[in-house]
Amino acid sequence: MRAFFHPDQGLHDPQQFMQVGRIREPKDLPSRTEALLGALAKRGIRPEQPEDFGTAPALTVHTKPFLDFLQGAYERWRQVPEAGPEVLPNVSPYWNGAPDRQHRPPCRSNSIVAQAGYYLGDMAVPIGPNTWTSAIRSNHTAVAAADAVIGGAASAYALCRPSGHHARADRATGFCYLNNTATVAERLRTRYGKVAVLDVDAHHGDGTQEIFYRRADVLTVSIHVDPNTYYPYYIGYADEHGHGAGEGFNVNLPLAPKANDATFHKAVDDGLARISAYGAEALVVALGYDSHREDPIGLLDVSTEGFRGIGERVRAAGLPTVIVQEGGYQVSVIGDCLSQFLDGLLGNAP
C-alpha cells in the first residue's frame, strides 16, 4: 500500500483554541503525526514525500481570495498593534447560508481583522507562522495519494495534518484550513465519472458537504455525532439531501452520543449501501479517530478494534480508495486505530 506525508506538515504548532468560552490547550498537536508514522512503520509502509503541486489543486475547491488570505494572514497580523500570538477572529459577518451558493463574494474590507472574521469560522483555527506551509503541504499529500490511485493503486493513504473536512470553499474552521478530502474527490473526478466520499470522523464533514451540495457527480456520505448536541451544530442533519442538481446526493447518518462499535458499523454498512446504489467508481474515506471512546473531545464509544471493522467494510466495497486522514486527538491510541483500520483494509490476519 502506498502512503504519503510531507515533514513540513508538522510545522503547524497551534498555541490555543476556544472551547465553551475558555481558551484551552491545543488538541491538534504535531505529535499526532509521529504516532501515525509509527503505525505505518510497524507495517513496513514508508510514506512517500509528495511533490509541490502549488495551489492549483486547492483552487479546484477553494476561492483564490481565501487562499490569498491564508497565505499572508500571519505576516499581516503581526502588523496589528497589540495583536495576539496567532490570527484569531473577534468579529464575524452575518450570512444566511443559502444552499444555492457555494461561497460568498470576497471580503469587502482590506483589514486583516475584518478578513480574519470573514475567512475564519471559529476560534479553533489559529494561524501561526507555519500554518500555511503545513496546510498546503497537507493538501499536496492528499493530491499525491489521489494521483497514486488514478495511476492504478488499489488504495493509498494520505497522512494529512492539519485536517480538512470542515474547511468550506472560503472559510477555515474546526482545526481545518484546506479541504483535503474535497480536493481528492475533485482530483479523482478527472479519471472517474462518479466519486463517493465516506466520512467516518466523529464530526460532520460540513465543508465537504457544502462544496459538493449542488452536484450529482460526487456523493457525500457522513457518519457523525448528531449535530443537535455536537460540533458543527448548524449542519449535518439527516434531512439535508443536496440542492438543485445535487438533490439526493448528500447523505447524513447522525448517531446518538455513546454509540458503540455495532451501531457505528451499521451506519458504515448503510452508507456503503448508498454508495453502491449510486454506482460510485472510486471512493474517498475521510478517516478520523475522534469516535474513539478515549478521545478528549469525542462523544462516541468506538473501540480501537472497531476501526478494523471499518477497514474490512471499505475493503469489501471493492473500489479504488483514497484514505484521507482527518481528526483524532488522543495521541496514545490513534496509532493503534490506524493499524487496526489498515489491517481490515488490507485483509491482514488479526
Catalytic residues: 166
Helical packing angle, 112-119 and 64-77, nearest 10°: 130
Residue 159 in contact with residue 167, Cβ under 8 Å? no
Alpha carbon 239 to chain centroid, angstroms: 22
17-19 vs 22-24, strand pairing mode: antiparallel
Query: For residue 322, what is the enclosing H or E element?
Result: strand 321-325
Alpha helices (H) along the chain: 31-42, 64-77, 112-119, 131-150, 180-188, 206-212, 261-278, 306-317, 331-346
Residue 140: Cβ within 10 Å count: 28
Residue 344 in contact with residue 314, Cβ under 8 Å? yes
Residue 222 in contact with residue 251, Cβ under 8 Å? yes
282-287 vs 195-199, strand pairing mode: parallel
Residue 189 in contact with residue 148, Cβ under 8 Å? no
- Cα Rg of the chain (Å, integer): 19
CA distance 197 to 213: 12
CA distance 259 to 149: 33
Residue 15 in contact with residue 86, Cβ under 8 Å? yes
CA distance 168 to 171: 5
CA distance 181 to 52: 18
Residue 243 in contact with residue 99, Cβ under 8 Å? yes
